[in-house]
Structure 1
Amino acid sequence: MSSAGSPVEKPAKAASKHTLGSLRGPLAGSDADIESIEKTPGDVSLVEPKLKQKKTRRVKRHFARFWCCYVFWSVIFLAIFLPIFFLVVIPAIAQLVLDNGTLLLVNATILEPRPDSILLTLEAALDLPISLPVRIDPFLLSIYNQDVEGNNTIFSSELAGTVIDGNTTLGVESVHTPVDVKLWTDYVHKVVFTPHAPLPVKGETNAYLGKLKSHVKLDKNIHQNTLNQFPGFSIEDPSLVFNETDYNLVAKATLPNLSVMTLQIGTTVLDLKAGNYTLGNATIDDLILYPGNHSSPVTGILDLDYLVSNLHGILETQGDALSRGFLRLDAVGRSATYDGELVPYYTEALQQLTLTAEVALAGLVLNTVEGVIRPNGTNIFHNLTDPNGPTSIHDIINSIDDPDGSLGLNKTRPNS
């Protein structure tokens, strides 16, 4: 005790080095501040910070307590999302792929044109912007008129199911196909008079990408070149003939076909005009328009009496064509028939079509003279140049009376 009477504090006795646990650090989870422990450079702490430990324990306790809620809402989400994915998203993607695909007309052959049907071959190349094979079911492909609402199908044909892998050809071959005459007539008019009349096609089918099934709709315009009033139409090698009873004019007509279509028109009759003067007609038997330039034989009747009686007026319609040595003729369609029946859709288009050609007069005269001299390839003056012929030129000369030789004829005299 101090002199002031207060107890004297004794210094704390230092912990003995032999005391148990005196040399260990603070225990994990104790109240000691772990971050206050001094670390030397290079030391690695194996103990997580207290704050991170608390967050981890809190998350674990949360999931351990509410895991059934998470499972419940996951099931609800999948029950909503999966039907939408398979019934809406996948079909939408399949439809988008089809819409972005390319459809090109490879070949179209229309034969046997009857008043209400055709023999159809149609091939189109479909290229989808996807590298995976896609299988489609059989479906009904319809050609239709986009300008008409309601029932606008021109004709339809069944396409077989196939696998589309890259550039794939779809189509039908040699199928007798009924047509809607009015709608088909309108479309034929577009083909004849415009340069690029698209071919509208539509149809519905099921498409399979692996096991995934999608219902898709095809509705596309197949772009193509069309006839465009036959630019480059010409009449070549014309000639008048006088040894036939059914016709007196022969020639070759070229009707360029700029499309990939092959069209059988049938027997085609054209009126030949010079201005308002109808000089005669021309007939092309069983006209078939192949792609490219192809000539067809023409036979016709030229009314020579009418031509001579109206020669002055006809010459006035020619303008500068005569000065260049040509005769300008207009060929106006009259009719198209197949197998003895009038083909209405082709006839209507031809009656509105006027084809203009310039015929070389020199060629017409020369071909006509050659036809007269060589009918069927034989020279009619052959006997006149044959000394042994009954009507040889020598017989004609000998028949001329020239007793004094004043005409200078070198007559053949018999040997004495």
Structure 2
Amino acid sequence: MPVTGGAFIAITPEKLNISITTSLDTPLPADIDPVTLFMYNHERPDNPFCNITLPPLHVDGETEIVVTDQTVTITNETELVSWFSNVFDQPKVTLSTRGDAKIHLGALHSDGHIDKTVEVNSLNKLDGFAIEHMQLLYPALENGTNIQGSLNLPNWGALTLGIGNLSLNLMAGDVRIGLVTVYEVLLPPGNNSRYFNGELYLDVLMQNLGTVLSTQSGPLNDGNIQIDATGNATVVNGQHIRFIEAVLNHRRVTSTIPVTKLMGDLIGSFTNGSQVSIPDILDDVFGNSTLIQEVLSHWNSTRNDKGANMKRSLSSVGRGVFGSSALTLLKLGMKMKMGKY
């Protein structure tokens, strides 16, 4: 019974909507009565975390079986958390099922037992997670929202996953620099670009500038900014989905963004292609126009030979990007947004 497709969608803290596409291969035509299949972790067969019901089946050779939109109750949350942890962490995960079936071969009837463990492609730690685009909202909205953009949530698995509204902490090392939310997250297999919005904690950035910069030495040498994300909350219809939070709130994924792209996005957030005073913008937004100067000074002071090689490779971007002027990179960002590069 290989799992070739399907979906696990959280609908309440206690219920899942499950679809499964699988198949049976039989040597003779047969009819099978409805079967309840218990899903469990292979190491603990006596502790199923949920069950689905196969409809009445007529099987003849290799026969596809499709279970669609069954609402099931979580029977063991601890076991489900254990399974979902493996779904997140591993490139492949096992799924075990068992159940008893009544089989009809014409006028003959017999009892059969299904007990199968199959391997299914899974999330592989969201390898490929990335903040694709980031825009500052200036001035901030009344609810504090001052950032929006898009990020990629890749699903390397065979199953579509639905986890509701996903809130993520933005981290620089151990410093929490923001909180964003991705809405109504439904992840079919493949790359998934999703809109997010939330708050970038500019005051925290200022107060912890030295600590934040110390976490960026390696990425900056490669011309990047690194922003990590950890789970904060997963909510469906106003209810926290505990079994997902128990996994994602203890996992961390990393996104690296080229500095020139980040600056182009951020400066473009308030210029809209017009000529403005960049120092005034910095002073208004950060309360201190030396923030980016500090970043670039730190970059210049920590560059190694690898950074020097990167400088040469970026010579086409424009002269002065890595020079002594602290605002050159910001000007480059604005020019990029205005289509001059």
Q: Normalising to structure 2: TM-score of the pair?
A: 0.75
Q: Is this contact kept in 1: 2:38–2:97, CA < 8 A?
A: yes
CA-CA distance at 1:166 after TM superposition: 2.0
CA distance in 2, matches of 1:113, 1:185: 16
Deviations 1:337-375 (A, max 9, x none): 11000000110111111001112221121112222122x
CA-CA distance at 1:381 after TM superposition: 6.3
Q: Is this contact kept in 1: 2:10–2:241, CA < 8 A?
A: no
CA-CA distance at 1:112 after TM superposition: 4.2
What's the counterpart of residue 126 of structure 1? 24
CA distance in 2, matches of 1:310, 1:169: 57
Q: Is this contact kept in 1: 2:38–2:48, CA < 8 A?
A: yes
CA-CA distance at 1:178 after TM superposition: 0.6
Which runs of 5 or more residues in structure 1 are unaligned?
1-102, 383-416
Q: Is this contact kept in 1: 2:39–2:49, CA < 8 A?
A: yes
Q: Is this contact kept in 2: 1:249–1:300, CA < 8 A?
A: yes
What's the counterpart of residue 269 of structure 1? 167
Indicate the structure (1 or 2) with the bigger Cα radius of gyration.
1
1:174 aligns with 2:69: yes
1:161 aligns with 2:56: yes
What's the counterpart of residue 337 of structure 1? 235
Q: Is this contact kept in 2: 1:268–1:287, CA < 8 A?
A: yes
CA distance in 2, matches of 1:182, 1:221: 20
CA-CA distance at 1:211 after TM superposition: 3.2
CA distance in 1, matches of 2:54, 2:8: 17
Deviations 1:102-158 (A, max 9, x none): x11122212243110012212212223x2x3122122212112332354x1211222
1:184 aligns with 2:80: yes
What's the counterpart of residue 207 of structure 2? 309
Change in CA separation of 1:182 and 1:230 when aligned onto 2, cut-off 3 Å: same
CA distance in 2, matches of 1:125, 1:193: 27
How big is the alpha-carbon RMSD for the aligned residues of Structure 1 and Structure 2?
1.8
* Matches for 1:347-366 after TM superposition, within 5 Å: 347-366=245-264
Deviations 1:83-116 (A, max 9, x none): xxxxxxxxxxxxxxxxxxxx11122212243110
Q: Which of these residues, 137, 143, 152, is aligned with residue 241 of structure 1?
A: 137
What's the counterpart of residue 202 of structure 1? 98
CA distance in 2, matches of 1:258, 1:117: 24
CA distance in 1, matches of 2:52, 2:192: 30
What's the counterpart of residue 300 of structure 1? 198
CA-CA distance at 1:205 after TM superposition: 1.0
Deviations 1:363-393 (A, max 9, x none): 121112222122xxxx5669xxxxxxxxxxx
Q: Which of these residues, 132, 144, 147, is aligned with residue 40 of structure 2?
A: 144
1:318 aligns with 2:216: yes
Higher RCO (CA 8 Å, separation ≥ 6 residues): 2
* Matches for 1:17-416 after TM superposition, within 5 Å: 103-128=1-26, 130=27, 132-148=28-44, 150=46, 152-180=47-75, 181-245=77-141, 246-374=144-272
Q: Which amino acid aligns with 1:355?
A: V
Which runs of 5 or more residues in structure 2 are unaligned?
277-341
Q: Which amino acid aligns with 1:301?
A: E
CA distance in 1, matches of 2:151, 2:178: 16
CA distance in 2, matches of 1:211, 1:165: 16
Structure 1 or 2: more strand by fraction: 2
CA distance in 2, matches of 1:318, 1:367: 19
CA-CA distance at 1:300 after TM superposition: 2.5
Q: Is this contact kept in 2: 1:236–1:253, CA < 8 A?
A: yes
